Structure 1
Amino acid sequence: MSPHAAAPSSPPPIVEPAPGEGGLVIYRASRLEALLDPFRRLLDATWPDDPLQAQTVIAAHPGMKQWLTGALAKRMGRQGVIANLEVMLPSAWIDRLAQSRLGAHAVALPRWQRQHLRWNLYQWLGDTAAVPGLDDPRIARFLDAGLDDAERSRRRYQLADRLARLYSQYLVYRPDWLDAWARGQHRYATAASADAQLAVTESRLLAPLWRRAVREIGSHRAEVVAELIARLQREAGQGEARVSVLHVFGLSHLAPAELAVLRAYAEQALVALYLPDPCRDYWGVLGEGAAADWRRTEDSLIAAAEGGDWWRPARHELLARWGRLGQHFFAALLDGDVREDIRHWRDDASPAPANRLERVQESIRQLDESLIVPCAGLDEEMADPSLRIHLAHTPQRELEILRDAMLDARASGIEPGEMLVMAPDIRRYLPLIPALFGHPGDPREPLPYHTADAPVAQAHPLFAAFLRLLALPASRLGAAEVLDLLSMPELARRFGLDAGALDALAELLAESRVAWSLDAAHRGGFGVPALAEHGFAWALDRMIAGYLASDESGEAAQAMHLPDGTELLPLPGLHGEHAAALGALDALLRQVRRLLTRSTQTLPASEWAGYFEELAEAVLRIDREARPARDAWDALKRIIASLRTETAAAGVDPDLHFAVAAERLRSALASAPARQPFLLGGATFSGMVPQRAIPFRFIAVLGLDDGEFPRHVDDGGLDLMARLRRQGDRDQRFDDRYLFLETLMSARQRLHLSYVGEGVRDGQPRNPAAPLAELAAVLARADAAAGEALATAAPWRVRHPLQPFDARYVDGRDPRLYTYHAGHAALRAATPAMPAAVPAPEAPMPDSLALSALKDYWRDPARHLLQRRLRLSLEALDDERLPMNEPIEPHLPRFDSVARRLLFEGALADPAWHPEHAPDWLRLDGRMPAAGAGEEAWRHERELTRLLADALRAQGAVGESLERQRLPIDLSLDLDGRPLRLHGQVDGLLAHPRGGLQLLHLALPRQDANTGRWQDAALDFGKRAAAFLDWLAARLTLPADLPLRYTLSTRKRDAWADALDTADERYRTGDLPRAALEARLGRLIGWWCAAEAHPLRYFPRTSWAAWRAMQAEDATEASIARAARAAWLSGWQRTGERDYAPGYAALLAGDETWAAGSPALRELMDFARELAAALEPGLEPHRPPAGEAGR
């Protein structure tokens, strides 16, 4: 049959070669599975005489190898057996053939492999003067001697690696260039080019460096392949046929040299190629003369494009835009003798397409775009799921949309194992997939799946831990960062830290006030003053000193004066239970110090391998009982050892800066494993890899965003092939376009394409990738030809809402929008109208209640409800939990207890108290900023303390005894017939000079930033309620005749404090019964109990602002709402209550803003009115403000 004979209309004939008869036979089909029948029949017809001799099959890629053996087994049925097939990749087959013919070890000679060659290049680039002719001025600029050692070494490695990649490519596609360079022809490739920069790149960089490589290393792949071809041709000419039949399955590209090997082999034996060909015609190459003309025209277009893209009209636009890689491959096949070229009969007798996907596929198959025009009506097209382009707002939404589409496909009978999901950058989605699809390989999930092409680093947490270690030299070593590092299971296991020890360590770090840096020298490396304070060495010294000199007081000990003249304040309160945490921190910091020292050094590669092995052993420990952990540990050890093995294979042991060694390890961890399984059962999530297009019933491609696909490889202007192209060259852009074509042709029932088509913040449209835009344009033209309704609707384009719970997914109006999420699907049910208010059930009254828990609610209701009742903690988000920086403000935080301690350590006892310097416990414990800011902070705190002392003296509250007392509380209350025990203690009690006790409440005044004047603090509901609860509990506990006064540290006597003292007098005289106090306490407890039923009615600062606004004579609901919002929302240089760290109020209230007229504002106002009445110390009936503001 002629190579251009018409395609048969019945199963293709099988070529049965006579012994010793060769030739190249091509079987084509647009459906890969259609090639299985001729493949199986030819296998049966060509079994070797020796039953133990295997038949050799070359598969395009490992995924094709897996699919081919599985598909053949299915074709054989239950009784059939597939055995004695040796399925190999093209490179492995050529290597073995070369070894058998030439006696060479392999074509891929080790020193010429990229991972080895780069180390030789690295050596030579370190001494360019020793390489004759290597004087490209860009090298000197890129490797500027003025750079620091780390950066210069890193650049040198990057350049060497990039050049190694180029040379590896030229070994396959430009052996003539390499041969000319080796002979000293340094202007061979660019001889006809007028581009001066290209000429410099060749003659002063690539050619001289290659010549040095050939002299040092010797024979390379291109030479061995050429020798192999010549050897095969000599054998054929001499009639020395020593080869068996060869089957080649699934290829869509071969390098010219590899194709030449097949042709030479075919001179001795039959070589059968089973090729997926998207088009049943020959891509416009219809005759020998036409083929030659086509190739000449293509060469001229390539030359004119000068490395850019070029356009050539064809009978199908998509084939013209996407098919260049395959077109060049099939054209190259026709350059030589082809014994038979047979098209599968199904391509000529295809049934009529039944849906959108089949119409597009058939139009490509027949080179007829008119076949895409829909024949069905709008409703049928809207319901057609076979080919859709989905526009999402984020990658997460892409996955949410995909999950629904996959569940819908499964509902239609497509099993997970028949689904493939790809993305140009699969790493973008890997962290999100488990959140939506569950754990990989879990058969209990509705969509079991596995991942391929994932970076090594994402295969196990061990790799992430090691990467964190590599990043430490460039890190500030923040306290939170170190704690997170020690919390990683591999480190916690190595240092013996359980959950309790980690909690203890977190407390130690917070109390020590460590912020960042290892020590003073490390801090100085970041261009700031080299101070030891707030570094880990300083904090660790404080911890160890505190552990050795611990006492029972819980207060900081006196400062230690060390022999080197430094002062150290031991951290108090350390005991035996802290030993594990302290030891782990010390052990880690020792390794970190060694790592930081190493990070400035240059060592031989073999020594770096030894050091990183030691580091891993010293810091990491896996769970030996877990197989994945053992595999990850072995993989990590191999990656570390590659620093030694790669350079040894290159015959060198180069001196590497730490930056180079670390980058090599990081790049190895960031790459996908060279060998990893592709088809493991369940759905497959993978990257887009050339020649992986095998048939699936459901195929999805995510991330088809503009600029993401086709992918672009930056060659830095060094790659001559990018500018001097030839037919048959590999190019990332052409590879990706052809991969998109193969993907479209491989989908059997559904093709799901998606991209981020709308900005999540601005709602602006985003462009799709060029191939997707080209497909959309073709579909749009087809719809326009079918009618205005389809053209307007574009049923194949689906714009998705921002949220997965959008009502459009459940209203059933658009068949393209649906959800399989149980919670969202429940919205389909009719929802009954809600009454204006639905009271939630109140929590039952407990038998016992801690006074501290009661006060916690009134001080911070959001934190109390979420943390203590719902067990939802946001402490990890607390900005103040472990500070990122040392204190720099010239004042101390208002919530600190410094003033209280200063008061009772001297300020109250001595009216002349005015120390020049801060005491040791304040000066050395890390609370004070350094230098002048610290002195100003001390002056500020000293003045604040004196103001408080003066205010208390003015009120007559300072007596001879300043001993603070704690009053145990144990009250049995009867709350409307329900007994309750209130227990705890009241702090801050002092003897009052006029007899009895006083409850001291320190309210810190504020200093006006503009005038410097001090203003008394205002008490909001939170502070009043907590103080009132202390007063009630103490008053009910103390003897009825013992005075209990309330002292507030304000310069002006507070009316509310006076009212409490009045109530105390009435209680002691019997005018105020005990039952009245218990009733008031019971009311506050009752509101605490009902808090979960009314979570938004009380926020201390906002409620107080609303209450204050309600007191105005001209108050309106709008003015009250403005006051509430001003307290709730943040503004210029002020933090609103909603934004208090770590975010409990914002989480509890959501988007509530207390707008005028809202039910939330009315509830807030009503409760503020009730609470104000309950906190009224006079215990008189509450009189509402004039006009009942806001009602």
Structure 2
Amino acid sequence: MENHKINSVQEIVPGLSIIHSNHLEDLRKVAAGWIKAHPLKVLETEQFIVQSNGMAQWLKLALADDDGCGISAGLEVHLPGRYVWTAYRSVLGNDSIPVDSPYDRDRLVWRFFRLLPLLSEEEAFLPLNRFLEHDEDQRKQYQLACHLADLYDQYQVYRADWLEDWSKGKDRLKTGRGEPVELPLEHKWQAQLWRRLKNDIPTQFQEIGRADLHQRFLRQIAQMDHRPDTLPPRVMVFGISSLPQQVLETLHAVSRLCQVLLFVHNPCRHFWADIIEDRDLLRIEHARHRSKDSMPDPLDPELLHQHANPLLAAWGKQGRDYIGLLYGYDEPDTYQQQFAQIDLFDDFIAPGTNGSLLQQVQQAILDLVPLPGEKEDKQQVTEDDLSISFQLAHSRQREVEILQDQLLHCFETIEGLNPRDVIVMTPDIEAYAPHIEAVFGNLAFHDSRFIPFTIADKPGRESVPLLKALEKLLHLPDSRMAVSDLMDLLEVPAFRNRFGVKEADLPKLHQWIKGAGISWGLNPDQRTGFGLPPGLEQNTWEFGLKRMLLGYAVGKAQEWNGIEPYDEVGGLEAALIGPLAAVIEQMESLWKILSRPGSPEQWCLRIRSLAKNCFLPEESRDRLIFNRLDEVLDNWLDACSQAELDRELTLAVVRDFFLGMIIQSSISQRFLAGMVNFGTLMPMRAIPFKVVCLLGMNDKEFPRSHPPLDFDLMAQKGLYRPGDRSRREDDRYLFLEALLSAREKFYISYVGRDVRDNSPRMPSVMVGQLRDYISAGWSLENCGDDDNEKNTLIDQLTCIHPLQPFGSAYFLKTQPRLFTYAHEWRSSLEVKESGIIEDSLEKTLFDEILNLGSLIRFVKNPVKYFFNQRLSIYFDQIRVVSQDQEPFVLDALAPFGLGNQLLEAGLSADPAQMQNAVLKEAERLTRTGELPMAGFGLLAAQQLSEPVMLMLKHHQALLSKWPLKCDPMEISIPLDPERSLVTALDDWLDRLYQTDSPDALPRFGRWEFYPKSILDKKGNVLRIYCLIPLWIRHVSGCAQGINLASFLVAPDGIASLDPLEPAKAMEILMTLIEQFWTGLTRPLAVTARTGIAYVDALMTKDAQTAKSKALKTYEGDGFQSKGELGYDPYLQRAFPDFDALWQARDNSFERLCQTLYKPLVNAVRKEA
């Protein structure tokens, strides 16, 4: 740009130059051009002061560009506080001023920590002592020390005059107008604590706090005629939105000897300091920028809205204070001849154009334009202008999904837009990072919808597994050390490497851990810390390891010293026991060491030992963490030594401090990496981008709430000063910066609808202000002035999205602004709302033979069998029995699992020894950890044994009729090729017994066991569906020609199935097999429990009553029973209600019930 040419100057002239612009890119050009035109001497370095790493990166990239200096080298970038301390040392002498001040926040924490217990006897500090009551683990003491260190650190920067008075014994404050006021009685302890703190610091360092050094620095530099070599010749302050008075005084003083250039982002070309509250505190005697011609002087606050821009007035307080403070040091006459222009205010709207809505809003702020007084004065916006848009979602996940679609649309419609031109900011990136990874990271690189992205400010523990493992280990004394805790550690590569465990070994280890009965607790001693009585070893790691080692030594053998061997450990894989034992041994050692308090020196040794013994880093990222770990410990030890802290610290204090430091230092700072940038809204993160997106602009979440401490005197009424930091004011100015930094599109997203009831939810108050401002100042082109049309523009800019990404509105194209690039969801519209799958698949042969197991699974649940076998879909909620909890009570499936083990033990014993065998098996189960401990185990064993003993009694009764046990018989039944895709049903029939008497009994008997009640009070079979496996095998045996009676043995009795004629059995079997092949082409509209209930009711009731019975069985009664549908996700997908089941396939339900289940019901009810 021509007006940015810089007049060449041959030397580095000291002085303070302040350059204002509403475009950061223009300021950047001036800075790069100035450096290029006025290079420093060889080996001298350029000094930059910025407010964020993102701004530093943006500057470096510009300097390295061909349009800049062509290279970015010889630069030092400082944050304001660090530069000021460096300046103090340069002027006052590096020898007399240490690198780190004892008044630094990190040093003050540990000095306060040591001092606080010493104040307990002094009445003046009673408010502090009350807070420290009941502080068993020193955490209250540490937290209070941190708060006090933060507070006095802020006082040193923003209220140095208070501290100076307190040091002199004057317990008073000064207002923003310089008026002294008495320090309130309830806060007098703050002045006393400051004096106590200073007296505690060694004499030679008492006067080197920033409050003291600042005045010494100002006096010393005022007497200097030449720049010391340690003070850099030039410093550039770039793009900072706020600086304390103390820093500005330092820069102004340095400018006597050095060249200081401040590049200020100013949103308005006019003087605007008097449009915001507390304007009288600035005491601006002269300002470089003129007031707007139409602005009255003085300005009546009541008429403010008629002359000022509402957005600038509402959000600009922080920038107003900063620019107002700068006016006190600005002398443009001394430097403006060195520049072609010092006020680089360029219009947002190009000459001869109307500009977009975004540009018009930005221009109104630049020109300090108030809202129009009349409707006809509103500016016009075209219908296709979406340069500012509001996207309403139902959740954070939906916000990110919508953003992805909107960005893809932007890349298609905005010419020249690249991923690096987009920034997405949110108040809390930690809350959004998982959703961003899930949505943007879910697409393959070769997918046309893939958008490269990077997440800055992501907490280290979320992206670095080693940090999560380190945190878990430091919580070991408070941890139950459950199975999941150890498996989480073994998922971390650096932890596995230390113990020689490979990732491929984890499934086997997990299998052994589960089989050995381990739940939680390293050993009985650790468990006592959780209130358990001593000696409870069962289900601990020590218990499981003993079982594994004994099992490896003796295999499947008898118990030894009360230890039941776990015999699965063997072969070459047994070598894994060594690393597992080493891990547990290390955990036990750490548990003992970390449980004891220690001095800072001891804690440094312990943490370094922990890191060395538990981790072997191989990745560069992990090695960097280890380097940072050493650095943090060294700095901490130095701080504790300087604070003379020699008392013992608890793990809670050390852990809070150490993890906070190590995690903060590992936060990802990847920014401007050539991708879409995701990050946290922070000062000067609002670098110019073509597209600026804000997520999470929700009410009560932005501006972020950060209430001051109750004893923060700076926050007291009447004590505010220009330049004071406020999180809420910071956020307001951040929002203004974000709005002004967008060049093509400003995108705002928030959760505007409740995910449960779709009720409206309010956005951030700032979003509401922006919407109101647009409504009041703009209208749609060619839109009438009717009051009913007043929200038309806002409606045009606002898009309310469906609850789900597969909402039909995205695909019906009735609303052009609703669209999605997720074409995978389109298929969801092709499924009828009922959920019924109408189409059939072709019959396909999966196996060469058909066995009884497949047929049983089909008859028990035809719908599930179709989804599993034909579609390879498994909806079952995998039953995860948490290994982190030892068993206390038996679950619903225990009779089928543990109970079956007791039953098998009884069946294997001689009749006289059955009861004893069951009891011994129960004792064995207790030793394996499968039954609860102590009295709970005895009760559980009794609950399992009672039904088993009843079933064994019924078993004995059946044996009296069929005493001879037979070998399994082969079932090989030829099948009709017209009705089956295979030629034979092949399987084996076991559990057969034979009679030895020539009476009328069938020759063979066969029975199975069911551990729950199956009969009603009258002795009739109540749970007919439990007989399905027995029935299928019974029919197959009879079809084979076996004279077979079958029985289902339950604790409350026996259900029997009489022999069938082979021809009849063969017809039943062929009908089932025919339906089996049909059931592989589509889900059959029938279920076992409902179908059997329907058929059973039809035998004694009318059709309507039977249908009502089926309805209740399927859907439940709405109270105690959820019905068959409530427990089966396959039915929920295929037939979501009884009407869908009843009406499917031309009401095939009745026919299928008769076909599949009526023969079984007839057989049970003894009907012909």
Q: TM-score, normalised by structure 1?
A: 0.83
What is aligned with 1:28? 20
The CA distance in 2 between the partners of 1:826 and 1:378, in whole Å, is 44
2:223 is the alignment partner of 1:234: yes
Structure 2 vs 1, CA of residues 947 and 74 (structure 1 numbering), >3 Å: closer, same or farther?
same
Aligned length: 1119
1:321 alignment partner AA: A
Q: Distance in 1 between matches of 2:90 and 2:474?
A: 45
Question: Aligned partner of 2:421: which letter?
Answer: E
Shift of 1:185: 3.8
Q: Deviations over 1:607-651 (max 9, x none)?
A: 3333333334444445x3x54454455556655666546545756
Report the CA distance between 1:1106 and its aligned residue: 4.4
Q: Which residue of 2 aligns with 1:821?
A: 822
| 2:653 alignment partner AA | V
Aligned-partner residue type, residue 1172 of structure 1: Y
* CA 1:337–1:504: 2 relative to 1, 3 Å: closer
Match of 1:101 in 2: 91
Q: Distance in 1 between matches of 2:1148 and 2:60?
A: 70
Distance in 1, matches of 2:160 and 2:723, equals 14
Partner Cα separation in structure 2 for residue 1165 and residue 641 of structure 1: 80
Question: Which residue in the other structure is 2:523 paired with?
Answer: 519
Counterparts of 1:1002 and 1:757, CA distance in 2: 57
Distance in 2 between residues matched to 1:135 and 1:70, nearest whole Å: 55
1:1186 matched residue in structure 2: none
Deviation at 1:1032, TM superposition (A): 4.9
1:1049 counterpart residue number? 1049
Establish whether residue 460 from structure 1 lines up as the match of residue 453 from structure 2. Answer: no
- Whichever residue aligns with residue 597 of structure 1, its letter is K
Shift of 1:470: 3.3
Q: Which amino acid aligns with 1:253?
A: S
Partner SS, residue 745 of structure 2: strand
Contact 2:971 2:986 (C-alpha < 8 Å) held by counterparts: yes
How far 1:697 moved relative to its partner?
0.3
Aligned to 1:536, which of 524, 541, 552?
541
The code of the aligned residue for 1:798 comes to: C
Partner Cα distance (2:720, 2:303) in 1: 16
Q: State the distance in 2 between where 1:129 and 1:1015 align.
A: 79
Aligned position for 1:507: 511
* Corresponding residue of 2:296: none
Identify the residue that residue 398 of structure 1 maps to in structure 2.
Answer: 399
| Distance in 2 of aligned mates of 1:440 and 1:194 | 64
Residues 601, 718 of structure 1: CA spacing in aligned structure 2 closer, same or farther, 3 A cutoff? farther
TM alignment of 1:716-755, pairs within 5 A: 716-723=709-716, 724-755=719-750
- Label 1:495 to 1:53 Cα distance change in 2 as closer, same or farther (>3 A): closer
Identify which of 585, 602, 605 aligns with 1:607.
602
TM-superposed CA distance for 1:827, in Å, is 8.4
Q: Is the 8 A contact 2:1006 2:1047 kept in 1?
A: yes
Residue of 175, 182, 186 corresponding to 2:160:
175
Letter in 2 for 1:420: I
Distance 1:215 1:711 in 2: 42
Tell me which amino acid in the other structure corresponds to 1:113.
D
Is 1:594–2:586 an aligned residue pair?
no
3-state SS of 1:734 partner: helix
Q: Higher mean Cα deviation, 984-993 or 175-184?
A: 984-993
Which structure 2 residues correspond to residues 344-383 of structure 1 after superposition, within 5 A?
344-347=344-347, 351=351, 353-370=354-371, 381-383=382-384
Mapping of residues 1055-1094 of structure 1, within 5 Å:
1057-1059=1056-1058, 1062-1063=1059-1060, 1066-1067=1061-1062, 1072=1063, 1077=1066, 1080-1081=1068-1069, 1083-1085=1071-1073, 1087-1094=1075-1082
Which moves more between the two structures, 761-770 or 787-796?
Answer: 787-796
Please give the alpha-carbon distance, in whole angstroms, between the structure 2 residues aligned to 1:808 and 1:421.
26
Q: Distance in 1 between matches of 2:832 and 2:1126?
A: 34
CA positional deviation for 1:503: 3.2
Query: 922-931 vs 997-1006, which deviates more?
Result: 922-931
Cα offset, 1:355, TM superposition: 1.9
Q: Distance in 2 between matches of 1:34 and 1:1100?
A: 76
Partners in 2 of 1:184 and 1:1113 — Cα distance?
A: 99
- The one-letter code of the counterpart of 1:666 is L
3-state DSSP of counterpart to 1:777: helix
What is the aligned partner in structure 2 of residue 988 from structure 1? 991
Residue number in structure 2 paired with 1:249: 238
Alpha carbons 1:1020, 1:1100 under 8 Å: kept: no
2:1092 pairs, out of 1086, 1104, 1112, with 1104
Aligned to 2:841: 840
| Residues 1128/506 of structure 1: CA separation in 2 closer, same or farther (3 Å cut) | farther
CA contact (8 A) 1:285 1:294 kept: no
State the AA in 2 paired with 1:317. Answer: P
Comparing 258-267 with 11-20, which one deviates more in the overlay? 11-20
Deviation at 1:365, TM superposition (A): 1.0
Q: Which residue of 2 aligns with 1:900?
A: 903
Q: Distance in 2 between matches of 1:1158 and 1:69?
A: 71
- RMSD of equivalent CA atoms: 4.6
State the alpha-carbon separation in 2 of the partners of residues 499 and 1162 from structure 1: 53
The answer on 1:1172 being equivalent to 2:1157 is yes
Distance in 2, Cα, partners of 1:200 & 1:955:
92
Q: Structure 1 CA distance, aligned partners of 2:696 and 2:930?
A: 49
1:769 aligns with 2:764: yes
Look up the match of 1:945: 948
Unaligned runs of 5+ in 1: 1-8, 298-309, 552-556, 1184-1191
Q: Which residue of 1 aligns with 2:250?
A: 261
**CA offset at residue 171 of structure 1?**
2.4
Task: Give the match's secondary structure for 1:370.
Answer: coil
Q: State the TM-score, normalizing by the size of structure 2.
A: 0.84
Partner deviation per Cα, 1:472-495 (whole Å, 9 max, x = no partner): 433333344444543454545554
Query: What CA distance in whole angstroms lies between the structure 1 residues aligned with 2:918 and 2:438?
Result: 59
Give the deviation of 1:756 after TM superposition: 1.5
Contact 2:172 2:180 in 1 (8 A): no
Aligned twin of 2:1007 = 1000
Partner of 1:39: 31
Match of 1:799 in 2: 800
Per-residue CA deviations over 1:972-992 (Å, capped at 9, x if unaligned) read 766447445656654433455
- 1:92-131, aligned counterparts within 5 Å? 92-104=82-94, 109=100, 111-128=102-119
The one-letter code matched in structure 1 to 2:55 is: M
**Aligned in 2, Cα 1:521/1:689: closer, same or farther, shift over 3 Å?**
same
Residue type at the aligned position of 1:659: A
User: Quick one: distance in 1 between partners of 2:810 and 2:713?
Assistant: 52
Specify the SS of the correspondent of 2:508: helix
Taking a change above 3 Å as real, the CA distance of residues 157 and 258 of structure 1, as seen in their structure-2 partners, is: same
Judging changes above 3 Å, is the alpha-carbon distance between structure 1 residues 174 and 366 closer, same or farther for their aligned structure 2 residues? Answer: same
What's the CA shift string for 1:842-869, capped at 9, x where partnerless? 3324214554455445456677666676
1:154·1:659 contact (CA, 8 Å) conserved in 2? yes
Residues of 2 paired with 1:355 and 1:363: CA distance? 12
Return the alpha-carbon distance in structure 2 between the equivalents of residues 439 and 134 of structure 1: 62
For structure 2, list consecutive stretches of 5 or more residues without a partner in the other structure.
Answer: 287-300, 337-341
Q: Which amino acid aligns with 1:1026?
A: P
Query: After superposition, what is the alpha-carbon deviation per residue over 1:794-840, rounded to whole angstroms, capped at 9, x for unaligned?
Result: 22232221111212223334343221222246789999999993212
Give 3-state SS (helix, strand or coil) of 1:447's partner: coil
Change (3 A) 1:370 1:663: same
Q: Take 2:738 and 2:395, find their aligned partners in 1: how far apart are those partners?
A: 23
Corresponding letter in the other structure for 2:713: L
Task: Measure, in 2, the Cα distance between the counterparts of 1:726 and 1:654.
Answer: 40
Deviation at 1:1108, TM superposition (A): 3.9
For 1:185 and 1:964, locate their aligned partners in 2 and report how far apart those are by CA, in whole Å.
105
Deviates more, 1:1174-1183 or 1:570-579: 1174-1183
Alignment of structure 1 residues 565-964 onto 2, 5 Å: 567-576=562-571, 579-580=574-575, 582-622=577-617, 624=618, 626-632=619-625, 634-635=627-628, 644=637, 647=640, 652=645, 655-671=648-664, 673=666, 676-723=669-716, 724-782=719-777, 787=785, 788=787, 790-793=789-792, 794=794, 795-824=796-825, 837-849=838-850, 851-859=852-860, 877-880=878-881, 882=883, 884-888=885-889, 893-896=894-897, 897-901=900-904, 903-905=906-908, 908-909=911-912, 919-955=922-958, 957=960
1:437 CA displacement: 1.0
Classify 1:505/1:1032 alpha carbon distance in 2 versus 1 (closer, same or farther; 3 Å).
farther
Match of 1:545 in 2: 550
Number of the residue aligned with 1:1120: 1107
User: Which residue identity is paired with 2:146?
Assistant: D
Amino acid at match of 1:811: L
